[in-house]
Structure 1
Amino acid sequence: MLSQHSIETLIDLAENKLSQIIPFDRDDMKEIKVLQSCVDELKVGSAATRGGRRSPQAEVRAITH
């Protein structure tokens, strides 16, 4: 199990990478989708480690990804 601090650091790193990607082709778009999915999963895991319930939006993302 990752600590809350580790999860937040990973979220920051993935979001920083997302902000730097300039999509030129399909591979870039695929990388963006994968990173966004990772961020979503980490945020759900972050809420779980704090003992909070997932928001309805997080529930939908968890189901659709």
Structure 2
Amino acid sequence: MMTFQNPDGEVTVSIPAIEDYVRKIANDMHDVKDVRAHVSVSKRGINVVTAVSINAGANIPD
């Protein structure tokens, strides 16, 4: 769990909820085949590491 303050008060979010959100956003992209996300929290912020598989023949711009 991570907790932070905003103008309306304290907000708590679970790490799995953030990972699920990252996977959902990535899976909404047309050529994404599979996504794995790992989230960690440090004093400096949130770290998100993803492993993404794309469909064969996908056009990846430079």
Classify the TM-score, shorter chain: 0.3 to 0.5
Q: TM-score, structure 1 length as denominator? A: 0.31
Q: Higher Cα Rg: structure 1 or 2?
A: 2
**Structure with a larger share of its residues in strand:** 2
**Greater RCO between the two (CA within 8 Å, min separation 6)?**
1
**Structure with a larger share of its residues in helix:** 1
Q: TM-score, structure 2 length as denominator? A: 0.32
